Chain A
Amino acid sequence: MAKFKKTESGRNLSRILSKGYLDLHTRASQGAFVVWIAINVPAELFAGFENVVYGVPESHAAMNAGKGVGAIQCEKAERIGYSMDLCSYARIDIGCVSDNGKDSPSFGLPKPDLLVSDNNNCSLLVKWFEVHHREMGVPHFIIDVPFCYEPQQKKDRDYIIAQFHGLIQTIEKMSGQRFDPDRVSEAVASTNQGISHWKRFLSFAGHRPSGITAFDSFVHMAPFLTMRGTSEFVNHYKLLADETEQRVAAGDFPVKNEKYRLFWDNIAPWHQLRNMSDSLAAHGANIVGATYTSCIGSVEGSFDMYPYDGGDPLEYCARTQNCYICPHGLNLRSKAMRQAVKRLNIDGIVFASNRSCKPYSVTQMDQQRTMTEKLGIPSVMIDVDHADVRKYSRQSTFTRLEALIESIAAKRAA
């Protein structure tokens, strides 16, 4: 069985996340300018202002799902007319806002002064934020990021940078605060430092048995979404990587009898982390890596770290706008996945077909065939919804996961 003993980094995570939400509410109530952002919006920009704080509805929705109230919030949105086919993050957030944060572990997010969405992960984020824009009467800034079929082009980067400048001017105008670019450089440098520890943490998946599970990485993503550019961010990922290193050195592995090393493709199934991890571990299987967490701090087509060179921080932020899986095409996704699968000695791939995230899922059937053709390793497609437990069947999922494990075993025996 996977060990879910609370680690020091686990305790620290709980502490900094609780403190983060508390600080957000406190500073908002004291007059800070509050921005709600999509996860890919470069949060480091807000460090350039004296008193701007930000909330991240997607991260907040994931927390609701992880704490078991995702479906409750979804139902609230459905009752006011939002289709069950819409993204469950969006339904959680809209449902939560509809009754002022009731049932949320953090009592929701403080009311925003500005909404900032982008369309690189998905255009529907813009539609989702538009719902708040219309209902709350709060201005909505849209960052438009061109999709990549090849590595990001300079013309697109320049266009993104121009929009960052537009966002900065908008905040200056609305908040009355002056922007200090040096503070953004410092924030980006901190993000870069924290990500280097994150990458070090993920690298312990290469150990046999793996020093981590992908489920650990899912849980520890949260500071990347809500605390980029801060000292807490750097300190947390240093602690996480150091602690993992010590555990590996001490022979303390999450799945000691690891027989099957798996790789995950799609958003984390937030409502099933413990359950899925335990059940797989009982089979000697460990999902050691995931596209979802490996892409952080990279650029499209690779999971290697893309370092900040100390230059223009806006240039760096723009360059990394396509790094997440959804803002780039099938060929680039395949390239990065092949590299990871080889590097981590993966035995099988779990493609989580996610009804709530079509941009992540739409190419998976082709990706699955590509992995079989190029690498010859077994894979399976399971149906999940990242935050709506009502759309998940444990029985059907594990029938397929067990079939994957059997096919890996059969391949070894042959």
Chain B
Amino acid sequence: MNAIKRLRKLQGEGKKIVGCFPLYPPVELFYAMELVPVVLWGLTDAHTQTPKSDRHLQNYTCFVARDLTEFILTQGHALLDGIFMYNACDTLRNLPEIFIKETKASGGSLPLIRMHLPMSPQDQTDSSKYFNDEINAVIRSFTEDLGTSFSSERFEEGIRLYNRMRKLAIFAQHRVARGRMGFLPFADTMRNACFMPVGEQVSALESLLRMYPEDSGDPNDSKTDTGVILSGILPPPPSIIAAIESAGMRVVGNDIASLHRSYADIPAPESDPCEYYRDFYFHHTPCSTLLFSGDRRLQTLMDMVDKTGAMGVIFVGEKFCEYEYFEFPYLEKELRKKGVKTLRIEISMQDDAHAGGISSRIEAFAEMTAS
């Protein structure tokens, strides 16, 4: 079932759906207000071309933004009850006014709820009060614009459910690392989960784990694969994942923003949303888009290398995602100093055309890393 069908299903069930631009929305808060958050990344299977988006965004804009724009302008206003964003990237911050204008022109309306996530490091400026006010403003906006109300009990229930989902995602990641399942079914499940309520996310992951049990006798068990870590904003397309695994490499860890960076943090349960999200954001696994986390980025990646015993790191650059591209050279240099091999490949979400050339580089990298 593709993303659009999943959204239609949710709509048919009477759910109020909020489309989220950034990868780390305050999902428990949505749950507490009886809303279903869907992160609008990875909608590619819903459309192969982006004609509507092309009227608004230049071709040097990343495909995540173009894909998201195409969805909002074609089907978003019919499927979503609102959109949510924070200051995740310079491109995304310029899109809401385009969406509001175009939705209005087509006779619809799409409430925009936004907050500013303080990007100043906490040891430089204490932004706690400002942040608390932003969280409270989001709650007010949901109440006013979407007619929902906040429930403390549901908030705590949401924390339990999302933390369960995160733990299951970590279990599944470990099974990939141990060769019990391929990276592709894991990444696919996680992508599909973006368009499900959290209860279904938990079920989908439980089902995945049952399908690939610890002692599955999977053919990968017998392999002595070379362990690699994937790093980037999004997982690579299936053809590239297949090329990595068929070249004898196993994904023993991932530093993918839409995967590990999204589920790695399991904050302590807390009834006060402000306190919960201060912990969640300010101690979040480092990400190139969370500007305050820069100083922890290298160490986190190094720790992952140590913990997983990875021999190499493959950086998967989404074309035009400058946040990632600014970091690659430094990370590559420091990893190489430590004897860890690195490979950088450039992909675009919608473009599998260069998979052949990339596969050859992956094979060469696998040989080099294994030797």
Q: Using a CB–CB distance below 8 Å, which chain A residues touch chain B?
A: 80-83, 85-87, 90, 119, 122-124, 126-128, 130-131, 133-135, 140-144, 146-147, 149, 155-156, 158-159, 162-163, 166-167, 170, 326, 329-331, 353, 355, 358-359, 361-366
Q: Interface code B105-140, partner A: CB below 8 Å = 1, 0 otherwise?
A: 000000000001011110011110010010000000
Bound form: Cα–Cα A391–B55 in Å:
22
B91 proximity list for chain A (CB < 8 A): 358-359, 362
B127 proximity list for chain A (CB < 8 A): 144, 159, 162
Is B223 part of the contact surface with A, judged by Cβ < 8 Å?
no
Q: B130 touching A166 by the CB < 8 A rule? A: no
Bound form: Cα–Cα A379–B328 in Å:
39
Bound form: Cα–Cα A97–B87 in Å:
30
10 intermolecular pairs with C-beta atoms under 8 Å apart: A85-B322, A122-B90, A133-B294, A142-B124, A144-B118, A159-B127, A163-B125, A166-B124, A330-B101, A364-B58
Q: A81 touching B328 by the CB < 8 A rule? A: yes
Given contacts A144-B120, A362-B91, A86 and B291 within 8 Å (CB-CB): no
Bound form: Cα–Cα A83–B344 in Å:
11
Closest Cβ of chain B: how far from A385's Cβ, in Å? 10
Q: B94 touching A329 by the CB < 8 A rule? A: yes
CB-CB contacts below 8 Å: B183-217 with A: none
Bound form: Cα–Cα A281–B291 in Å:
45
Closest Cβ of chain A: how far from B296's Cβ, in Å? 12
Beyond A330-B101, A362-B58: 9 further Cβ-contacts under 8 Å?
A85-B320, A85-B322, A119-B87, A127-B288, A144-B291, A329-B96, A355-B58, A364-B58, A366-B97
B95 proximity list for chain A (CB < 8 A): 362
A149 proximity list for chain B (CB < 8 A): 96-97
A361 proximity list for chain B (CB < 8 A): 58
Closest Cβ of chain B: how far from A291's Cβ, in Å? 15
Bound form: Cα–Cα A162–B129 in Å:
11
Closest Cβ of chain B: how far from A380's Cβ, in Å? 14
Given contacts A363-B94, A366-B98, A142 and B328 within 8 Å (CB-CB): no
Closest Cβ of chain B: how far from A351's Cβ, in Å? 11
Q: A126 touching B119 by the CB < 8 A rule? A: yes
Q: A127 touching B322 by the CB < 8 A rule? A: yes
Bound form: Cα–Cα A177–B182 in Å:
59
Closest Cβ of chain A: how far from B361's Cβ, in Å? 16
Given contacts A142-B120, A358-B61, A127 and B94 within 8 Å (CB-CB): no
Closest Cβ of chain B: how far from A35's Cβ, in Å? 14
A90 proximity list for chain B (CB < 8 A): 326
Given contacts A126-B119, A144-B291, A362-B61, A83 and B325 within 8 Å (CB-CB): yes
Closest Cβ of chain A: how far from B349's Cβ, in Å? 16
Q: B60 touching A358 by the CB < 8 A rule? A: yes
A166 proximity list for chain B (CB < 8 A): 120, 124-125
Chain B CB within 10 Å, residue with most, of A127, A147, A326, A361: A127
B93 proximity list for chain A (CB < 8 A): 147, 359
Given contacts A80-B329, A85-B60, A124-B90, A331 and B124 within 8 Å (CB-CB): no
Given contacts A81-B328, A87-B322, A149-B97, A119 and B58 within 8 Å (CB-CB): no
Is B84 part of the contact surface with A, judged by Cβ < 8 Å?
no
CB-CB contacts below 8 Å: B75-89 with A: 87, 89
Closest Cβ of chain A: how far from B221's Cβ, in Å? 37
Bound form: Cα–Cα A149–B96 in Å:
9
Q: A155 touching B133 by the CB < 8 A rule? A: yes
A86 proximity list for chain B (CB < 8 A): 322, 325-326
Is B154 part of the contact surface with A, judged by Cβ < 8 Å?
no
A155 proximity list for chain B (CB < 8 A): 130, 133
Is B270 part of the contact surface with A, judged by Cβ < 8 Å?
no
B322 proximity list for chain A (CB < 8 A): 83, 85-87, 124, 127, 358
Q: A124 touching B323 by the CB < 8 A rule? A: yes
A122 proximity list for chain B (CB < 8 A): 90
For A124, give the chain B residue with the smallest CB separation: B322
Q: Interface code B49-64, partner A: CB below 8 Å = 1, 0 otherwise?
A: 0000001111011000
Q: Which of A87, A130, A147, A170 contacts B124 (CB 8 A)?
A: A170
Closest Cβ of chain A: how far from B60's Cβ, in Å? 5
For A158, give the chain B residue with the smallest CB separation: B130
- Closest 8 CB pairs between A and B? A81-B329, A127-B326, A144-B120, A144-B119, A146-B116, A330-B97, A359-B90, A166-B125
Q: Which of B94, B120, B319, B328 contacts A330 (CB 8 A)?
A: B94
A119 proximity list for chain B (CB < 8 A): 87, 119, 291
For A122, give the chain B residue with the smallest CB separation: B90
For A170, give the chain B residue with the smallest CB separation: B124
A82 proximity list for chain B (CB < 8 A): 325-326, 329
For A167, give the chain B residue with the smallest CB separation: B124
A365 proximity list for chain B (CB < 8 A): 55-58
Closest Cβ of chain A: how far from B351's Cβ, in Å? 15
Q: A124 touching B326 by the CB < 8 A rule? A: yes
Bound form: Cα–Cα A119–B329 in Å:
22
